[in-house]
Structures are given as C-alpha cells and as structure tokens.
Amino acid sequence: MNKKAVIFDMDGVIIDSEPLWQQAQIESLAGFGVAITHQDCEQLTMGKRIDEIARIWCHTYSLPVASENLENLILTNLCQRISVTGEAMTGVYDALKFFAEKGLKIALATSSNHLTIKAVFDRLHLWDKFNVVCSAEDEAYGKPHPDVYLTAARKLNLDTSDCLVIEDSFVGLTAAKSANMMTCIVCPNFEESKFSIADERYMNLDYLVKNYQNSSPHLTQMN
C-alpha cells in the first residue's frame, strides 16, 4: 500500500479552470451561432483533450469550421483567461508542500496540452514544484485511456502501484484506475455514486492533507 509518488491532474485539481474551459467553449461556439451551457460542457467534454473537445462540438452541431481551427480558437480564449484570472484550487500549495516534505516525487498528468500547462504554471508559479510533467497531447489516446498516467509512472521510474493519483473527474478517475493506480477524487460533488470506484474521496485538497497528516499509511519517503 505504500506510495512513492503523487500524480496530480491539473484542471479542477491544481487550478480552478473548469469554469474557464467551459466559458471558452461557450464563447467560441457562440461565434458560430451555437448556444451551449455549462452543463453541456460538463457532460460532453470535461476531462478530455482539446482536440477531442473540438471534434465533439464540430460533430454535434455540424459546424462549418475545421476542428483544428475551433481547437485553436478555444485554446486562445482559455489561455487568455488563465493568464488574467486563473486561481489555484483550495489547498494546492499546502498539498504540494506536504507531499514534498514527505519525500515523495510529484508529477502532473493532464489532458491539457503543453500550451495550457505553460499558462497555468506561469500563472501559479509551479515550475519548481513538479519532478515530471506529462500531457495527454503526447499520447495516442487521451483520458479515459490510461496512457498519460502510464507515461508519468515510467518517467518517475516507478511501478504504477507505487503511485497515488489525485483527480476530480470521472474521465480522469477511469484513466487512473485503468493504470492500476490508487486514486483520490477531490471535488465538491465527491459523494456522487459515479465516484464510488475511487479509493478515497474528499471535498478538497485541504481535507485530503488533513487526513494524511493524521495518518499517512500509504506514503513512503524516497531516498
């Protein structure tokens, strides 16, 4: 049960970017006369790669635009929002400090591409916090496929069973569990039945850290 690394998802775990992602999609599609809602985004695109998101909207609404162009439009809108208004999720810095002090390696495994990662890490000053950064942009398949998590474990030089994953979406949870990794769900709706396959569930990172401060049975300090 002992873990040697923590792998963080980014959107919704590190940064409060889900509303920014959704608004970027809503505004981008509005330019084509299509009205979507935040709920539509949550149901159809949450946790997916930007290329998949663009293809979903182009297919769903038969948009008169190449999916690559919609992808660039959404990304431009998103990164502008992140650079100006992006905020860290509750407990992020305390969690990063806690795991680092425990001697664990820290990695990122996100569906977001490298451009978005740069916008987030620049905004939140995170470049020195992570040992490994992995994007599903570099994989054949994005989440819910486990590829990005398997790559993170490989770059950490660890077995998947040595890794603890922190996720906020069902898509990400599915990916991490498929990679045979212990997974914590951290989100306001953590009690929903769809998250029952998670090993642990918390309202936010503060609750996770407090639990591990009181008892850290899963953590092993790296030499």
Q: What is the pLDDT of residues 113-149, one digit of tens each?
A: 999 999 999 999 999 999 999 999 999 999 999 999 9
Helix, strand, or coil here: 131? coil
Which range (8-17, 177-186, 209-218) has the least confidence? 209-218
> What's residue 18's pLDDT?
87
Confirm if 112 and 13 have CB atoms less than 8 A apart: no
> What's residue 223's pLDDT?
43
Q: Domain 5-16+87-214: give its CATH code.
A: 3.40.50.1000
pTM above 0.75, yes or no: yes
The residues carrying an active-site annotation are 9, 11
Q: Domain 18-85: give its CATH code.
A: 1.10.150
Displacement of CA 56 from its chain's centroid (Å):
19
Cα separation, 132 vs 82, in Å, equals 22
Tokens of 138: 């570099």
Domain ranges of the chain: 5-16+87-214, 18-85
Mean pLDDT (the chain, rounded): 94
**Averaged pLDDT, 68-78:** 95
Residue in 156, 42, 173, 41 with CA at minimum distance from that of residue 99: 156
Question: Is residue 95's pLDDT more than 90?
Answer: yes
Residue in 54, 176, 50 with CA at minimum distance from that of residue 113: 50
Cα separation, 117 vs 111, in Å, equals 10
Cα dihedral sign, 127-46-109-201: positive
> What's residue 1's pLDDT?
45
Beta bridge partners of 164: 6, 182
Cα separation, 144 vs 184, in Å, equals 16
